[in-house]
Structure formats: C-alpha cells, structure tokens
Amino acid sequence: MNKLKLLLGNEKIKKIIKFGITGGLNTLVDFAVYTLVLWINPNVMYLAQTLGYSAGIVNSYTINRKWTFKTNTKYVGKELVQFILLNLAMLGVSFVCLYLFTTWLSCGKIVAKLFTTAITMVISFLVNNFLIFKE
C-alpha cells in the first residue's frame, strides 16, 4: 500500500494519469462522433475521423492546459498554435494508421480506430509533455 501511495504521489505519474483521464474523455467524444458519422454513411471514414478527432480536441486543450499540465504561461497564443499544429499532425498520423490497419492488415474500421488512438495518444503525450506544456 505504501508503494501505491508513493507511486501516486509522484508528479510525473500523476501527470500521465491525468493525461489518460483527459484522453479517455476526449476519446469517448471522438469515438461517438466517428461512429455516428459512419453509421450515417459508412463510406466516409476519413471525414468521420476528421469530425470525431476535431470534436475530441476542442476541450482537450483547455483541460490539458489547466488540469493535466497546469500551465501558467502568458504565451497562450504560441502554446495554442503549437497544440493545433500537433493535433493536425496527429490527424495526419491517424489517417495513415487507419489506412494501414484497414487495407494492409484488414482490420475493421472500429478496431483500426482503437489501434490508431493508442498510437496517437502516446505520441501526443510525449510532445505535449516535453514541448508544448513544458514546465
């Protein structure tokens, strides 16, 4: 039990947990929009990805800035531009991943989305932690 308290008291571990919670909430929104759009029209996977991903990141910036990384910088403009650029890059990575998983590996669209989300979350955490919301 003491090891658990020590682990949860570690600021880096707390940050990873908070990022995971925030990412989980954003992912729920992303998946809901993605699935809804595919339900309406199964032939628009990339449009569904764009709309879902965009919906997920709308609140991601505010939550990550204030709660996960607790950034107090006055340079919100620069930080926001970096965040938007990162997420545009992650959207591009997600397109590539979706394509690879659905065409080369013959995964279903939802399974491909799960794998893609895992990959982009890891990359996003690293870039957010070490570049955008650095202390």
The per-residue pLDDT for 75 is 64
The per-residue pLDDT for 33 is 94
Per-state percent for the chain, helix, strand, coil, to nearest 5: 85, 0, 15
- For 19-76, what is each residue's pLDDT tens digit? 889 988 988 988 999 999 999 999 999 999 899 988 888 778 878 888 888 777 666 7
The per-residue pLDDT for 108 is 94
H or E element at residue 112: helix 109-127
Mean pLDDT of the chain: 86
How many Cβ atoms sit within 10 Å of the Cβ of residue 112? 22
Provide CB contacts within 8 A for 100, sequence distance 6+: none
- For 63-82, what is each residue's pLDDT tens digit? 888 888 877 766 677 778 88
pTM of the model: 0.71
Query: For residue 3, is pLDDT > 80?
Result: no
Contact criterion met (CB below 8 Å) for 65 and 114:
no
The per-residue pLDDT for 131 is 82
Distance CA 99, CA 93 (A): 10
The per-residue pLDDT for 32 is 94
